[in-house]
Amino acid sequence: MEILGIFRDIESAAKAVAGLVRVGFTEDQIDSLTSVPYPEGALVRTKQSSWFRWLALTGGLSGALAGFVLVAGTASLYPVQTGDKPIIAIYPTAIICFEVGMLFAIIGTMVGMFLEMGLPALNKRVYDPAVAEGCIGISLTIHGGGRCGALHAGSSD
């Protein structure tokens, strides 16, 4: 079960989060929803590690490798007499590797961005339109059925 509390300012939302932690909820169960870009950890401190940059790096490296395979494969499929010059020249190959690597890095970045944002949403989440108008939402996820009597940690405005 997921419960959403709406607060008008960050101070009351922070008091509510502190109250929820004080009564025994873990910060993994608490999430903040806001349209204002508060710094990471301003309301809820998450120990979530991000693998966003690793997706971009993997995309870039695999793209550079795909670019080299494209150049080398094309050169081997269409053998051209080059007169003692290398069939796979360094500078044109580097350009193709760079361009395909950047394309794959951008695709990896876009995929990582959507995964970090949780899009597409696989499960239904609670939401209130007041969050888009500047209010702060504090979401509490309760696993099982216990702890319902401990929800008097803060008052919503």
CA distance 17 to 95: 52
The residues spanned by each domain of the chain are 2-49+125-152, 52-117
* Residue with more model confidence, 149 or 14: 14
pLDDT given for residue 146 in this prediction: 52
pTM given for the model:
0.65
Token pair for 141: 């996820």
With beta carbons less than 8 A apart as the criterion, state whether 33 and 4 touch. yes
Place of tokens 């080299």: 68
Helices (H), the chain: 10-22, 52-77, 90-117
CB proximity list for 79: less than 8 A, separation 6 or greater: 87
What mean pLDDT comes out for the span 128-141?
90
pLDDT band at 27 (very low <50, low <70, confident <90, very high): confident
**pLDDT digits 0-9 by tens, 31-57:** 888 888 878 777 887 666 778 899 999
